[in-house]
């Protein structure tokens, strides 16, 4: 009997493509590839491709009708075919593909037992499955799968401040320069109160720091170590200048960086829109809407998704850009939430947004938030 105790559940990146033939030939061509489940009638690649194309032809303007993702377990661990089937169907339902054609194929050509899912983004009724916020959505669904099927909880990639080791780095069995650098910067940052203090501490460890400049503004940070060069984004979201200030600086004696977030069910865009209208019925501001969502115990990401459904957010996004607009929503949520439930570094984010908006206001008389 296979061990079906607790185990980590991993999602690789989502790929949205144009051609069903290529991806189906890939997933079925691997050694020991086995069909887990499908709702197609075809039994050959060409028959399956024909069914997918027939459905996607209902929306000829859709340029990328192919949805492809793989779900993985850790090295040497497996679950039964029946459990994989239940996991696949739960994932598809959570992602909004319950009325779509799909096929799931299991691979054992690598250390990780994993399943590839290929689905049509065009439903059987000719509708299009929205890819809005699909990165956060797929992470949220994965966390729900862990809970439902008793798998070990794994932080979502958007909750991790350091990028994970690559497949090659893991297979080497030796700690990589990048991983060692991440740890050294983290420890130095915990003991530093500012970026300038951190730079001096890193110099003592023969790690040099330089900045990408745009005029008089710093737009990026680069770490130089053992004749190699790593940008902040290459090391992870916690290692940019913004990330250092937000999450690491001065947080001594903390564990290796992970953002903790209370899980809650993922909202479809339609559900989020309905909640926005419900909460916004008697509300005049985004803060009042956020406060109502907090009372209903939605987590931070869900509330931000709800707030993003309104025209107010679209106007803000047009003026200051999507990334800064999302930070602005964090500040809005923080303004009405209890301090014990606020994420680490939110005080810095408030200051960062305030300073940015002041800069924008000086260059644009129209910006009023």
H helix runs in the chain, sequence order: 20-29, 45-56, 81-95, 134-148, 167-172, 177-190, 195-204, 232-235, 241-243, 269-280, 286-295, 300-307, 311-320, 322-336, 346-363
Contact 230, 223 (CB under 8 A): yes
Q: What is the distance between the alpha carbons of residues 2 and 81, in angstroms, rounded to a whole number?
A: 11
- What predicted TM-score, i.e. pTM, was given to this entire model? 0.64
Nearest to 264 by CA among 288, 289, 300, 305: 300
Check residue 261 and give its pLDDT: 46
Crossing angle of helices 45-56 and 20-29, in 10° steps, is: 150
In the structure encoding, which two tokens stand for residue 289, read together? 């809407």
Nearest to 36 by CA among 128, 107, 98: 107
Q: What is the distance between the alpha carbons of residues 91 and 141, in angstroms, rounded to a whole number?
A: 6
Q: Give Cβ neighbours of residue 315 (< 8 Å, ≥ 6 apart).
A: none
Strand partners, 71: 11, 115
Check residue 367 and give its pLDDT: 44
Contact 298, 264 (CB under 8 A): yes
Check residue 323 and give its pLDDT: 83
DSSP 251-298: -TTPPSPB------PPPPHHHHHHHHHHHHTT-SSHHHHHHHHHHTT-
Enumerate residue ranges in the chain where pLDDT < 70: 1-12, 74-77, 109-111, 152-160, 167, 170-171, 252-266, 358-369
Counting Cα atoms < 13 Å in the Cβ hemisphere of 276 gives 21
CA 135 to chain centre: 5
Check residue 365 and give its pLDDT: 43
CA 210 to chain centre: 28
Check residue 364 and give its pLDDT: 44
CA 104 to chain centre: 22
Check residue 363 and give its pLDDT: 47
Check residue 302 and give its pLDDT: 84
Check residue 12 and give its pLDDT: 66
Check residue 265 and give its pLDDT: 56
Check residue 253 and give its pLDDT: 53
């Amino acid at each position: 009997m296979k061990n079906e105790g607790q185990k980590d559940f991993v999602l690789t990146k989502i790929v949205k493509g144009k051609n069903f033939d290529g991806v189906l030939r890939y997933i079925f061509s691997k050694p020991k590839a086995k069909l887990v489940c499908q709702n197609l009638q075809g039994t050959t690649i060409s028959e399956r491709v024909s069914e997918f194309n027939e459905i996607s032809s209902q929306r000829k303007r859709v340029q990328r009708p192919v949805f492809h993702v793989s779900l993985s377990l850790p090295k040497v661990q497996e679950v039964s075919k029946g459990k994989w089937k239940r996991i696949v169907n739960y994932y598809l339902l959570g992602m909004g593909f319950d009325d779509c054609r799909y096929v799931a194929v299991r691979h054992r050509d690598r250390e990780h037992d994993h399943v590839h899912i290929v689905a049509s983004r065009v439903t059987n009724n000719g509708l299009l499955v929205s890819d809005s916020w699909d990165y956060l959505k797929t992470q949220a669904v994965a966390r729900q799968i862990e809970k439902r099927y008793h798998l070990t909880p794994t932080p979502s990639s958007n909750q991790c401040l350091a990028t994970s080791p690559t497949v090659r780095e893991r297979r080497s069995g030796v700690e990589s320069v990048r991983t060692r650098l991440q740890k050294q910067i983290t420890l130095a940052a915990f003991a530093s109160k500012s970026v300038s203090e951190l730079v001096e501490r890193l110099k003592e460890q023969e790690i040099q720091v330089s900045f990408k400049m745009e005029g008089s503004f710093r737009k990026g940070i680069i770490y130089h170590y053992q004749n190699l060069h790593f940008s902040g984004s290459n090391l992870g979201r916690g290692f940019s200048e913004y990330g250092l200030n937000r999450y690491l600086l001065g947080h001594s004696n903390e564990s290796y960086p992970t953002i903790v977030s209370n899980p809650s069910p993922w909202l479809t865009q339609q559900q989020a829109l309905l909640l926005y209208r419900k909460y916004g019925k008697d509300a005049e501001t985004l803060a009042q809407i956020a406060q109502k969502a907090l009372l209903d115990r939605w987590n931070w990401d869900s509330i931000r998704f709800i707030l993003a459904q309104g025209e107010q957010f679209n106007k803000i996004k047009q003026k200051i850009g999507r990334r800064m607009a999302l930070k602005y929503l964090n500040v809005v949520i923080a303004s009405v939430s209890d301090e014990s439930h606020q994420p680490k570094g939110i005080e810095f984010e408030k200051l960062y947004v305030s300073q940015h908006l002041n800069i924008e206001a000086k260059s644009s008389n129209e910006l009023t938030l």
